[in-house]
Copies of this chain bind each other. A is one copy, B any other.
C-alpha cells in the first residue's frame, strides 16, 4: 500500500476515528487504526466492537492495499510532522514507512485483514437532526445515566421517537432527565437504548452547527450516524427501558419560580460543606416568597436566602446538592420553575414550552 495525504487532513481523520479506539482490550488489533486504500478511496476506521467509526480521507493512492497502525503512535507521529504532504507505504510484511520532507519513520504495522469490519446497518428507518441539536441534547442528559451495572439499560439513554417528537431520557436511582425535540416530519414510533459511551464520544466529534445535519438510522440492534465524510455505528443496549411516564406527574402543591444562577451558585457553595461520599442534604425552607437554604456537616454550616415567586403551600424539603446542581447546569433559562408535592415526593424542574423535565428525588433529613 502507498498513499499520500496532507498532514492536516490525516490529523482531522485521526482525531475523529481514534474516539473508537478502546483504552483496554484483549485484541491487540483493536488498538489500531485501519487504513483502507483497497479502492481509489482512502478510509480510516477504528472499532472497539461496540462503537465503530469510519471516515473518508482525501489523498492519492499510489498502490492499493490496507494496513493497521497502532493508533496512539500513528496519531503522535502525524501530529509532530511539519504541515506538508505525508506518504505512508507498507510492504507485504507490514513494514511501514511514514515520510514527510526529509523525515522518515519506520514502524511495524499489522495486517489490515485482521481488523474487524463494521457491522452492516439497514437504512430503512431514518431521522435527521442538526449536529448542534444532537450535541446539546447529549450534554443536557448524559450526566444522569447510571454508572453501575445493576441495570445495564440505564447505562444508556432512551431515544424514543413518537410522531414528530424525539424524547431523550436518562435516569439513575435518584433523578431523571428528559429532553423533548420537535422534528420537522412525522415518523413511525421507534425506541432505542444508546450506550452512554457512544453518546459521549459522538458529542466530542461533532463540530458542526445548526446547519450541519446528521442522518440517524436505526435497526433493532444498531444505530448509525452519518454526517460529512464520517459514519459512526454503535450497538444498542438490549432490554426494556424503565417506564418513566407514570412518574412524570403534572400535579403539584408548591410551585417556585427562582433565578437559576442564584440558586445554582448557592448550591455550589453548599457543596463545600460536603466531603466526597458524604450524603448531607441541602435543606430548602420555602415560605412567604423566600427560600432559605441550609446545610450542616462536620465541616461547618452554610445559610443563604433567595427571593422567589411561589404558589401553593409552604414546604421544607432536602436534596443531595449535587443532583440539583447537575440539572441546573444544563438548563439555559434565566428563571426556572420547580414543582413540589411534599417532602417525600420528587421535585420537577420543567419549562412551559415542554422542552425539558428534570426530576430529582428528595432526601430524608433530621431537622
Contact = CB atoms under 8 A, between A and B. Distances in A.
Interface of A: 73, 76-77, 80-82, 102-108, 265-266, 268-269, 272-273, 299-306
A115 B202 CA distance: 52
B269 A300 contact: no
B106 A76 contact: no
A321 to B, nearest CB: 12
28 contacts: A73-B272, A73-B299, A77-B269, A77-B272, A80-B269, A80-B272, A82-B265, A102-B305, A103-B266, A103-B269, A103-B302, A103-B303, A103-B304, A104-B302, A104-B303, A104-B304, A105-B269, A105-B272, A105-B273, A105-B300, A105-B302, A106-B300, A106-B301, A106-B302, A107-B299, A107-B300, A107-B301, A108-B300
Copies of this chain, complex-wide, total 2
Contacts of A103: 266, 269, 302-304
Contacts of A302: 103-106
A162 B158 CA distance: 73
A301 B273 CA distance: 54
A325 to B, nearest CB: 12
A194 B278 CA distance: 42
A318 B105 CA distance: 19
Contacts of A266: 103
Contact of A76 (B80, B105, B272, B305): B272
Nearest to A81: B269
A312 to B, nearest CB: 24
Which 8 A-B pairs have CB atoms at the shortest separation, nearest pair first?
A107-B300, A106-B301, A102-B305, A104-B303, A80-B269, A103-B304, A106-B300, A105-B302
Contacts of A306: 102
Given A76-B272, A104-B302, A105-B272, 15 more contacts: A73-B299, A80-B268, A81-B269, A82-B265, A102-B304, A102-B306, A103-B266, A103-B302, A103-B303, A105-B269, A105-B300, A105-B302, A106-B301, A107-B299, A107-B301
A256 to B, nearest CB: 17
A302 B299 CA distance: 56
A292 to B, nearest CB: 9
Nearest to A306: B102
Contacts of A76: 272
A54 to B, nearest CB: 26
A271 to B, nearest CB: 9
